[in-house]
Amino acid sequence: LANSEALKAGRKVDPLGLRTLGIITKMDLMEPEVGAAILRNSDYPLHLGYTGSIFYVYSQRGIQVGIDTLRKKLMEVLEEGMAKSLFSIV
């Protein structure tokens, strides 16, 4: 994961990983334990964490995957960013 071209590019513009959200695709093609470890955000931490994309129902509880999860996470990030920006304007 640390050698990912996307994460390398992200580190150039966001060195601390504060604004980077990791999207892990094709999770249905990897071992569940490997996918769960990535989503736990411990090996290559990002402030906003990771969201997985799969094409079937994931069986482990507490693991956030899927388009609905991604949509919710992106809305949270957008709303938090807007709230911080508005607070500094007022």
pLDDT tens digit string along 47-67? 888 888 876 555 566 666 677
Distance CA 55, CA 24 (A): 12
Q: Give the residue extent of every domain in the chain.
A: 5-89
3-state helix, strand, coil in the chain (%, to 5): 50, 10, 45
How high is the pLDDT of residue 90?
A: 63
pLDDT in tens, 70-90: 888 889 988 988 888 887 776
pTM above 0.95, yes or no: no
Instruction: Specify whether the CB–CB gap between 1 and 35 falls below 8 A.
Output: no
Distance CA 65, CA 57 (A): 9
Instruction: Specify whether the CB–CB gap between 69 and 51 falls below 8 A.
Output: yes
